[in-house]
Amino acid sequence: MDSLTLYGESFSSRLLLGTARYPSPAILAKAIEASRAEIVTVSLRREAGRARGGETFWELVRASGARVLPNTAGCRTAKEAIVTAQMAREVFGTEWIKLEVTGDEDLLQPEPFGLVEAARALSNEGFRVFPYTTEDLSVAERLLEAGCRVLMPWAAPIGSGRGINNLFGLRALRARFKDTPLIVDAGLGAPSHAAAVLELGFDAALLNTAVARAADPVEMARAFALAIDAGRRAHRAGLMTPRDFAEASTPVLGRAFAEDGA
């Protein structure tokens, strides 16, 4: 399989895995291994708030060998996200940051004005920004102008498990930004959803709730890894174009038949 390149670094896996809400650190470790993920996201706020177990968590992440992508989950303003990103750089020693600026409380929808503002400021500071955004083309343009080289559009609200809410919007985004790595982030609830976005030509998918809250997170992580691999292979192979009418797969020429009266 071809590799995924993000900010000049190459990865063989196209699955990014979140690390929140797992039943235990041991299950998280097994899920990372089963998913074959080479990038895991971590919320600085969430982990900093753990009075106990924090040491075990960091040991687990380091032992996985995956690259850490800190995020600014929970931030409501550009200023808050910028400060959180700066703290994450100090804690994790990385300039990679998944940028989240949340607007709506119910849908956890990205707030576009603060997102673009924070992306520009962080890019100017040397951060490699992975912005969590919607499928809006205008916002995507402004994020790229602000210095982002990767976009992370949602499929549906975080944790909803609805799959692709706006198929037309995601197709338009992929068509407009052909050379930009696009990682679908949020809303995927089943392996079939992940396969579908990779079939559309998206470069990767980021998952958390669908794996962490499964009855068997390890087996679900393995299922998503296989689905993403299948979706990418299908995209590269070239999917057939849907038709309105049937097309026989068995040729009529040379078919055996009996004449009347025979």
User: Does residue 185 sit in helix, strand or coil?
Assistant: strand
The SS3 of residue 67 is: strand
The annotation status of 159 as a binding-site residue, yes or no, is: yes
| 50, two tokens | 């753990």
Instruction: With H, G, I as helix, E, B as strand and everything else as coil, classify residue 144.
Output: helix
Give residue for tokens 């692709």: 164
The answer to whether 103 is annotated as binding is no
- Decide the pairing of beta strands 152-153 and 39-43: unpaired
How many residues are listed for the chain in this entry? 262
Q: Is 187 annotated as a binding residue?
A: yes
Ligand-binding site membership of 71 (annotated): no
Tokens of residue 171, six digits: 């197709």
Q: Is 155 annotated as a binding residue?
A: no
Active site residues: 98
Residue 254, sorted as left (phi over 0), alpha (psi -120 to 50) or beta, turns out to be: left
β-bridge pairing 152-153 and 4-6: unpaired
**Burial 26-49, CB ≥16 within 10 A → b, else e:** ebbbbbbbbbbbbbbbbbbeebee
Give the residue numbers of the binding site for 1-deoxy-D-xylulose 5-phosphate.
159, 186-187, 208-209
Q: Residues annotated as binding site? A: 159, 186-187, 208-209
